Amino acid sequence: MVALATFLQRELRLLARQKADWLNPVLFFVIVLSLFPLGIGPEPNLLRIIAPGVIWIAALLSVLLAAERLFKDDYRNGVLEQLVATRQALWPFVFAKLISNWLSTGLPLVLLSPLVALLLNVDSASFLAMLLTLLLGTPLLSLLSVLGAALTVSADKGGILLALLILPLYIPLLIFASAAMEAAAMALPYYGQLAIMLAMLLVALALVPFAVNSALKINVS
Amino acid sequence: MFKWLHPLAKPETVYQLCGRLYPWLLTAALLLLLLGNIWGLAFTPPDYQQGDSYRIIHIHVPAAIMSMGAYSAMAIAAFVALVWQVKVAQWSVLAIAPIGAVYTAIALITGMAWGKPMWGTWWVWDARLTSELILLFLYLGVIALSGAFSDRQTGAKVASLLAVVGVINLPVIHFSVEWWNTLHQGASITKFAKPSIDPSMLWPLLISILAFKVLMLALICLRLRTAILVNEQHRPWVRAMAGDQ
Amino acid sequence: MHFQSWAEFWAMGGYGLFVWLSFGTTYFLLLALLCYSQLQQKQFKRQLAAKLAREQRVKQYQEQSD
């Protein structure tokens, strides 16, 4: 626990110093969202229909953008190698990364959601669903992007490779999150979708740290 | 059983075994493929609803079944590679991935060619077609990841890890796509009823499925041999063999 | 034999394009994978043999010059 707090403090300090790392993806999210009305047309009803899919696809892409650099600096300056070499448990480091990644990419999306709802003409019932799906879904996005980043730490070619690896894994989340928002727009209950999202989050929370742990060890040794 | 399996962890033994099996498997696969496809194409009656277009089933279904079979084979190899650190298993993950990708591509292309006369469009966001497309992305991810590292060994290990992650995710993806499809049923074109298949049509199909399976085994033998050679090129047995030729 | 003539066989009851397109691409892709895999193996064997021959020559040259 002490180790977790230490690592978390370090991560947050790094985030505070490298503001571009987390500001750029958030900016990207807003820009992508504002492109859709320009491309499709400003018709309010049309925007309301496409809003769930558009919001979630923009969220996926902006989280992906932040994932690229998650472990890169720690790999380049030798921090990862030191951690593996000390033979101590990696999990405080992994969880600190997870928490700081969610705080820097997931939380801003949740906080921005009222603005997004205004931009895309989302009504209040769908807005609540959007807030809930973002709250449940963004931690899962963080888990999967940490996994993707850990797999590709020492890869020579990054970028598109990471997208190819994690985007297929995001698909179930995309389906259930946008379905929950569509159900809310039609005034139907959407607890089922939220429950499935919660289940996926819990399963991922139980399994992903193991995979990240071994991916980091493979990449460093 | 472990006594029997243990020699299979030794690259040289696997290399010899694959070399001995390969010509037999390839011949058997080609014969079975010819038999199954000619029987299916020319000697079965046409379907009463779909006419002669249903004959695409003789390559579409085998490719689709074996694309999933290849993924499970790859995932088992990856699991063995990660848990017991068996090198041959790591290399077979990389040997199987392109075969699986090609089978998946065949299943998709033939599915589209079958869909055009039946559904009226080349592509329908049908649950099975969509899951197959995602399967193709998973295969491409494994292939791309294995080639992205300057160290070959790291690439093989990381690709194995991704294959295991993928196999845990595959059922989740499959069921979510199926659920999504039933949700949006109104948008998709009504599917034709699936009648039970007549025995006269079933036999050539079974033979074709077997042919695709044996062909996959032959290709695995061929590709695994190359992978063993590449990875063991500094070992004395490879050098001795290459010197003889 | 279900078909009466070759022409009928190629026409496939009007679905000829789709049936032969599927079978054609399938055989092409399978054959391409097979040939590519075989070529890869041959090429690597050739490379390895060339490398060993070169090493042999270097060794001989060094022995002569000693």
Touching chains B and A? (3+ Cβ pairs < 8 A): yes
Q: A39 or B188: whose pLDDT is higher?
A: A39
CB-neighbour burial class of residue A170 (10 A; exposed 0-12, middle 13-18, buried 19+): buried
User: What's the whole-number mean pLDDT along residues A156-182?
Assistant: 84
Chain A residues with beta carbon closer than 8 angstroms to that of B144: 161, 164-165
Among B138, B164, B183, the residue with its CB nearest the CB of A168 is B138
Touching chains A and C? (3+ Cβ pairs < 8 A): no
Q: B195 with B55: CB under 8 angstroms?
A: no
Q: How high is the pLDDT of residue B136? A: 93
* Mutation target among C25, C30, C47, C59 for the B interface, most CBs of B within 10 A: C30
- pLDDT tens for B148-204 read 888 888 889 999 999 999 888 888 888 888 888 776 654 333 444 455 566 777 888
**3-class SS at B19?**
helix
Instruction: Evaluate whether residue C11 is within a structural domain.
Output: no
Instruction: Evaluate whether residue C66 is within a structural domain.
Output: yes
Q: C63 or B3: whose pLDDT is higher?
A: C63
Instruction: Evaluate whether residue C7 is within a structural domain.
Output: no
* Closest residue, chain A, to B149 (C-alpha): A155
Q: How high is the pLDDT of residue C27? A: 92
The residue to which tokens 């990862």 are assigned: A80
Q: How high is the pLDDT of residue B211? A: 93
Is C18 in Cβ contact with B53 (below 8 Å)? yes
Instruction: Evaluate whether residue C18 is within a structural domain.
Output: no
Q: Is A218 on the interface with B (CB under 8 A)?
A: yes
Q: What is the mean pLDDT of each run of 10 residues along chain B (245 residues)?
A: 69 87 92 90 75 82 90 92 88 93 94 83 80 90 88 88 89 82 52 57 87 94 92 83 70
- pLDDT tens for A113-156 read 888 888 888 888 888 888 999 999 999 999 999 999 999 888 87
pTM score of the predicted model? 0.87
Could you report the predicted ipTM of this complex, rounded to two decimals? 0.85
Is A164 in Cβ contact with B134 (below 8 Å)? no
Name residue B51's beta-bridge partners. B47
Instruction: Evaluate whether residue C9 is within a structural domain.
Output: no
- Our count of domains for chain C comes to 1
Instruction: Evaluate whether residue C48 is within a structural domain.
Output: yes
Q: What residue numbers bound the domain in which C64 lies?
A: 31-66
Q: Which of C 7-66 lie inside 8 A of B, CB atoms?
A: 9, 12-15, 18-19, 21-23, 25-26, 29-30, 33-34, 37-38, 40-41, 44-45, 48-49, 52
Q: B68 with B110: CB under 8 angstroms?
A: no
User: What's the whole-number mean pLDDT along residues C13-41?
Assistant: 89
The residue to which tokens 């042999």 are assigned: C56
Instruction: Evaluate whether residue C16 is within a structural domain.
Output: no
Q: How high is the pLDDT of residue B245? A: 60
Instruction: Evaluate whether residue C59 is within a structural domain.
Output: yes
HEC string of chain A equals: CHHHHHHHHHHHHHHHHCHHHHHHHHHHHHHHHHHHHHHHCCCHHHHHHHHHHHHHHHHHHHHHHHHCCCCHHHHHCCHHHHHHHCCCCCHHHHHHHHHHHHHHHHHHHHHHHHHHHHHCCCCHHHHHHHHHHHHHHHHHHHHHHHHHHHHCCCCCCCCHHHHHHHHHHHHHHHHHHHHHHHHHHCCCCCHHHHHHHHHHHHHHHHHHHHHHHHHHHHHHC
